[in-house]
Amino acid sequence: MGPSMLPTFNLTGDLVAVNKVPTWWGQLNKGDVVLMRSPENPRKHIVKRVLGVEGEMVTYLVDPANSNTTKTVMVPEGHIWVQGDYIHSSNDSRNFGPVPRGLVEGTIFCRIWPPENMGLIESKVNPYEPTN
């Protein structure tokens, strides 16, 4: 998966379970982690977190190193806004814009390998806030 989803997933690779049903029914929620085709290269799969769904306004950091550089966009109908949990190393909607829902192949709901990290993937509306 690469560094864009740290610390949710590790760099050496996690084996995850993907639920394809929500995408058939049109149920994608803010905070979901999705497996999708890259809008820049459809041969490549990427994993990102949904931070906005159609009709919502999303405010994002244009430059993660400068918290004063924000921009607000409206997520158009039939699209979602996705970002990596580690925005300092993520190519996401901040770069390629809102993503057509049709590129989403499923939601990642559980890590099954490595065994010591097995468990459900937490849905986070704001993955950038530290957890206690």
Specify the pairing of strand 104-113 against strand 33-37.
antiparallel
Q: Which of 4, 38, 123, 124 is catalytic?
A: 4
CB burial of residue 38 (10 Å; 0-12, 13-18, 19+)? middle
Q: Which of 20, 30, 48, 93 is catalytic?
A: 48
Establish whether 4 is a catalytic residue.
yes
Side chain identity at residue 108, one-letter code: I
CA angle centred on 108, ends 4 and 78, rounded to 5°: 85
Of residues 22, 24, 9, the one with CA closest to residue 107: 22
Establish whether 48 is a catalytic residue.
yes
122/99 Cα distance (integer angstroms): 22
Active site residues: 4, 48
